[in-house]
A = this chain, B = another copy of it.
């Protein structure tokens, strides 16, 4: 039996924060002259992407954003895809552009990302928007890291001087998170970036005040690897199969072994129902910000 420490963490659910963000986005959009429009581009076919597109569509509908899923065949060349993105860049009716990953193997994902205008980069992952992170950008930033920061803020947790272990070195989660942590307060936390090649992961997690996991590995972090009272943010989404009553049962789990971590942590995000919900809300918030920037530019043009 793991993590038998007597503490039971509070579940840090995403639904309240997500609902708050969406409420504000809806209110702001209701004052707009026209509905912002989000275009999600799917090249080829991917069941995960289709599921996520449905979630996006429903969330967009709730707040008054027009949503369109555009599907291009898997045979689309990189050049054709970039040409298509450039059309969307130049289309005044498109507020934000998102590209589903994975893309077919003959296409370099980074080339597509770099071709999205930073003025329509709803995920905040174009080089120009990412570069602003070094200068403390609070505008269009990557959705998942922002969701993590908002969740930590939502419980009134003070990061000053804290040790934070981030288990991810990905360019759209771990790396921007490191920068957001460093920019998060005048006297900011001390982040440690762990990953699959880190020797003795437990040594790092065991002494961390905050552990953020986005390794994509089911049950990577167990209760015995955590410091008592740690805040644990689980970004992982893993599809696992178990045998229950002789039948195969599929379920979604995070990177944290939930029951053992609950006995050691002070706060723990559930999967599903944690970071993912807030990430979708932040995406809508980014559509709103892009639309506001667009109207500001139009205003400026009118003034000239």
| Chain A contact residues, CB within 8 Å of chain B | 110, 113-114, 125-136, 160-161, 169, 171-172, 174-176, 178-179, 182, 187-188, 190-199, 204
A190 engages B190 (CB within 8 Å): no
Known: A131-B132, A134-B171, A190-B194. 9 other contacts (CB 8 A): A110-B135, A126-B131, A127-B128, A134-B176, A160-B197, A175-B182, A187-B197, A190-B193, A190-B197
Give the CA-CA distance A301 to B34 in the complex, in Å: 40
- Which listed residue, B113, B129, B192, touches A190 by the CB 8 Å rule? B192
For the complex of A and B, list the 5 residue pairs with the smallest distance between their C-beta atoms, beginning with the closest.
A131-B131, A127-B131, A187-B197, A130-B131, A134-B171
Contacts of A188 in B (CB 8 A): 169, 195, 197
- CB-nearest residue of chain B to A191: B193
Contacts of A125 in B (CB 8 A): 134
CB distance from A266 to the nearest CB of B (A): 19
CB distance from A133 to the nearest CB of B (A): 8
13 inter-chain pairs at a CB distance below 8 angstroms, sorted by A residue, are: A127-B127, A127-B128, A127-B132, A128-B131, A130-B130, A131-B131, A134-B175, A135-B171, A169-B188, A178-B178, A187-B196, A188-B195, A192-B193
Most chain B CB neighbours (cut-off 10 Å) among A160, A187, A193:
A193
B195 engages A190 (CB within 8 Å): yes
Contacts of A114 in B (CB 8 A): 135
B192 engages A161 (CB within 8 Å): no
Give the CA-CA distance A195 to B135 in the complex, in Å: 17
Contacts of A126 in B (CB 8 A): 131
Known A-B contacts A127-B128, A127-B134, A175-B134; A169 and B182 likewise in contact (beta carbons under 8 Å): yes
- Which listed residue, B129, B195, B199, B204, touches A131 by the CB 8 Å rule? B129
CB distance from A238 to the nearest CB of B (A): 22
Contacts of A182 in B (CB 8 A): 169, 174-175, 193, 195
Most chain B CB neighbours (cut-off 10 Å) among A113, A195, A197:
A197
Give the CA-CA distance A131 to B126 in the complex, in Å: 7
